[in-house]
């Protein structure tokens, strides 16, 4: 606790969007452990704009999944979630996700905000047919089952699956990619407005990842979804997402329109992350790992949490946690004192990031 006490964590409200469907303010998740408080989501504030795809990128263990769970108030026990999360089904109504009753929360989840987990293989009950999962979900939410199953078939067909075959199968009879697509269909069957996807393509091969991404775009248009797509694979999501948010050490460090981040990444971490990402076109010698290791959630460095690994770090970075500040445009915000020097200090190893297609 004490190490965080000294840290300034107030960041100005300049990360807002005009018509947000979900507003996350000062979201914090912590676990109390024997060796201290493990803060796995640290004061994260972000808006999800209606009908956008927001990509959340970060390395393993940077708090991405916690952010995803927080949006459904589904942080696993004994984790404690604090802050405010506001869901706006339309511009007038606002629902405080963290203070609704148990019954309302049950309705909110899946009907309004739905989620696709990493590892579809373990998201289905192994002793129940895939179709059974659809039916019980519809029944649990008092939806018309016949109509809902019609929609399920359509969804599966949209995802290039044979509806009857998939619904009649047990989960183990489907391939990983089929299960993942079936899970996406299951998460959309109640026609939610927001779909949170936590590494939905992690266990799949590259070809399947690509095809699922392109299916998502179609799905988003057809069902008017706002999507939060969480991944560690920056180039993968960059093409799909409208905006990107970069997470490091359990907080957001940069947010902005995808092309801008790819072209003019302003945070040293984002730039290093882009440089470290394997790319088929890049020779192995040009891929650079980021020196050092991600911080321990019990003991995050004072000041800017990235300073121990940052080539630009000085006393200011050690002493103080940088506020959000606009960079080249107002929508592109970064939490770094020296963002204007980042491009010179950490040049992209090949000039392919901006023009990557």
Min separation Cβ 125 and other proteins, Å: 5
Helix axes 145-158, 176-188, angle to 10 degrees: 140
User: Which of 152, 336 has the CB closer to other proteins?
Assistant: 152
2/127 with CB nearer other proteins: 127
CA distance 352 to 356: 5
- Binding-residue total with other proteins (CB under 8 A): 27
Cβ nearer to other proteins, comparing 129 with 210 = 129
Half-sphere exposure (CA, 13 Å, Cβ side) for 155? 27
Cis-peptide, bond into residue 78, ω within 30° of zero: yes
Pairing of strands 226-231, 53-57: parallel
128 vs 318 by CB, closer to other proteins: 128
8 A C-beta contact, residue 239 and residue 67: no
Residue with Cβ nearer other proteins (46 or 120): 120
Minimum CB separation of residue 149 from other proteins in Å reads 15
Verify binding: residue 126, other proteins, rule CB under 8 A: yes
> Considering only residues 45, 123, 180, 333, which one is a binding residue for other proteins as defined by CB under 8 A?
123
Burial of 221 (0-12, 13-18, 19+ CB in 10 A): exposed
Residue with tokens 């072209």: 263
Backbone angles phi, psi at 290, to 5 degrees: -85, 125
CB of 183 to other proteins, least distance (A): 8
Name which position in 128, 157, 206, 345 contacts other proteins (CB under 8 A).
128
Q: Taking CB under 8 A as the criterion, which residues in 91-120 touch other proteins?
A: 106-107, 109-111, 115, 117, 119
201 binds other proteins (CB under 8 A): no
Strand-strand pairing, 194-198 and 113-116: parallel
Q: Beta strands 194-198 and 226-231: pairing type?
A: parallel
Binding residues for other proteins restricted to 154-183, rule: CB under 8 A? 170, 172-173
In the complex, what is the shortest distance from the CB of residue 57 to other proteins, in angstroms, rounded to a whole number?
Answer: 23
Nearer to other proteins, 76 or 345 (CB): 76
Q: Which of residues 207-266 bind other proteins (CB under 8 A)?
A: none
For residues 68 to 87, the per-residue mask of contacts with other proteins, x marking binding by CB under 8 A and - elsewhere, is: ----x-x-x-----------
Nearer to other proteins, 1 or 76 (CB): 76
In angstroms, the CA 213 to CA 22 distance is 22
C-beta of residue 177 within 8 angstroms of C-beta of residue 151: no
Contacts of residue 357, defined as CB under 8 A and 6 or more positions apart, other chains included, come to 239
Between 109 and 309, CB nearer to other proteins = 109
Least distance (Å) from other proteins to the CB of residue 128? 7
136 binds other proteins (CB under 8 A): yes
Spatial CB neighbours of 93, under 8 Å, sequence gap ≥ 6: none
CB of 39 to other proteins, least distance (A): 22
Task: Compare residues 78 and 278 and give the one whose CB is closer to other proteins.
Answer: 78
- Give the nearest distance from C-beta 73 to other proteins in angstroms: 10
Q: Is 89 exposed, middle or buried (0-12, 13-18, 19+ CB in 10 A)?
A: middle
In sequence order, what DSSP letters do the residues of 44-92 get, joined into one string?
EEEEEETT-EEEEE--TTSSHHHHHHHHTT-PPTT-EEEEEEEE-SSSS
Residues in contact with other proteins by the rule CB under 8 A: 72, 74, 76, 106-107, 109-111, 115, 117, 119, 122-128, 133, 136-137, 140-141, 170, 172-173, 186
């Amino acid at each position: 606790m004490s190490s965080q006490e000294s840290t300034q964590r107030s960041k100005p409200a300049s990360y807002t969007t005009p018509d947000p469907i979900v507003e996350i303010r000062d979201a914090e998740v912590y676990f109390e452990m024997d060796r201290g408080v493990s803060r796995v989501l640290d004061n994260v504030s972000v808006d999800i704009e209606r009908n956008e795809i927001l990509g959340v990128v970060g390395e393993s263990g940077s708090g991405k999944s916690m952010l995803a769970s927080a949006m459904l108030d589904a942080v696993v026990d004994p984790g404690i979630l604090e802050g405010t999360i506001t869901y706006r089904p339309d511009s007038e109504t606002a629902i405080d996700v963290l203070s609704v009753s148990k019954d309302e929360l049950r309705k909110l989840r899946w009907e309004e905000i739905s989620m696709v987990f990493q590892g579809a293989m373990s998201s289905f009950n192994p002793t129940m047919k895939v179709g059974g999962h659809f039916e019980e979900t519809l029944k649990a939410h008092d939806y018309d089952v016949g109509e809902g199953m019609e929609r399920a078939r359509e969804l599966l067909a949209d995802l290039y699956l044979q509806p009857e075959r998939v619904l009649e199968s047990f989960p183990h009879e489907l391939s990983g990619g089929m299960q993942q697509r079936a899970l996406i269909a299951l998460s959309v069957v109640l026609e939610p407005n927001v779909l949170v996807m936590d590494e939905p393509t992690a266990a799949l091969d590259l070809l399947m990842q690509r095809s699922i991404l392109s299916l998502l775009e179609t799905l988003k248009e057809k069902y008017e979804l706002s999507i939060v797509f969480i991944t560690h694979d920056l180039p993968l999501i960059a093409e799909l997402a409208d905006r990107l948010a970069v997470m490091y050490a359990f907080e957001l460090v940069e947010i902005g329109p995808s092309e801008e981040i790819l072209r003019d990444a302003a945070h040293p971490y984002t730039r290093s992350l882009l440089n470290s990402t394997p790319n088929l076109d890049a020779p192995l010698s040009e891929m650079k790992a980021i020196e050092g290791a991600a911080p321990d959630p019990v003991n995050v460095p004072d000041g800017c949490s990235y300073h121990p690994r940052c080539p630009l770090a000085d006393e200011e970075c050690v002493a103080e946690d940088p506020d959000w500040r606009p960079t080249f445009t107002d929508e592109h915000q970064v939490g770094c004192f020296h963002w204007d020097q980042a491009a010179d200090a950490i040049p992209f190893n090949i000039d392919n990031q901006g023009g990557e297609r």
